Structure 1
Amino acid sequence: MELLDSDVRREPDRVRELLHPDFVEIGRSGRRWTMSATIAALEAETSRIQPETDEWLFNEVSPSLILVTYRITGDAGSSRHASLWDLSGAIPVVRYHQGTTVRANDE
C-alpha cells in the first residue's frame, strides 16, 4: 500500500528501500521499467488521490517469495496487478511487478 501513496512515491530513498536491486516492472503500456527508471518516474509524478484496491490474494511461491495480486480502481479505470515480493532480507522488497489495464466489460 505504501507504494500507492503519492508522498512515498516521490521519496526516492524510501522507494529504493522497497524495491529489490534487480527490480523490473512491466507497465500497463507494456513498457519494461528498471529500478532506476521507476524511481525517476515516480519522483516526477504529480500528487494523485490514492486509488481504491480490492481482490487481494497472497500466494506463497517459495518460503522467501510471495506473489501478491490485486485490482486497482481509479479515475483512469481498472487494472490488475501482480507483484513478486522477496522476503529473504531485513524487510520485504518487490522484485517484479506487472500491471494490466482491464477493459470495462472484462471486469
Structure 2
Amino acid sequence: MWEPDSQAFAPVKAAELALLSSAVRQDDDELSRLLSTDFSEIGRWGRRWTAAELAESLRREAPREVPQTSEWLFNRLSPELVLVNYRIHGSPDDSRHTSLWEVPDLVLRFHQGTFISES
C-alpha cells in the first residue's frame, strides 16, 4: 500500500535526497555505500546504467543545487524493501522518479526517472 511521506520513511527519504546532492554524487565512498553492487538505473532518456557507469558519469557532473522535490510516496514491499516514488521539479521539465531501497541498511537497488509530459 502506498503511504505518504512520514517519519517511518524518513531515513529512506534522506538517503534519496542525499543522492541528489553534488557532494554525494561525486563521493566514490558514499556512492559505494549507497548503491548496491548490482544496482541498475533506467535514466530519463531510457538509457540503462550500472553502478560503475553511473558513478563515472556523476564524477564528471558539474556541481548543482539539490532539485526541488514533491509528491513523495512510499510502499513497503517487504520488511527489507521499500519502493519510493516522487517528483523532481526541474528546468525545463519535471520528472517522476522511482527507487527500490533495501532497509534498514539503506542500499539502493534500482532507480528509474521519467520525464513528465505536459499533454
> Which TM-score applies when normalising by structure 1?
0.91
- Residue identity opposite 2:44 in structure 1: R
Instruction: Measure, in 2, the Cα distance between the counterparts of 1:31 and 1:77.
Output: 18
Listed as ranges, the gaps of 5+ residues in structure 2 are: 1-16
Q: Cα RMSD over matched residues?
A: 1.0
* Residue 102 (str. 1) matches residue 113 (str. 2): no
Distance 1:52 1:87 in 2: 24
Figure out how many residues of one structure are paired with residues of the other and give that number.
103
Instruction: Give the match for residue 37 of structure 1.
Output: 53
Q: 4+ residue stretches of structure 1 with deviation over 2 A?
A: none
**More strand, by proportion:** 1
Aligned position for 2:106: 92
| Identity in percent | 49
In the alignment, which of 70, 73, 80 is matched to residue 64 of structure 1?
A: 80
How many Å separate the matches in 2 of 1:27 and 1:62?
A: 25
* TM-score, normalised with respect to structure 2: 0.83
Structure 1 Cα separation of the partners of residues 93 and 32 of structure 2: 28
CA displacement at 1:13 relative to structure 2: 1.2
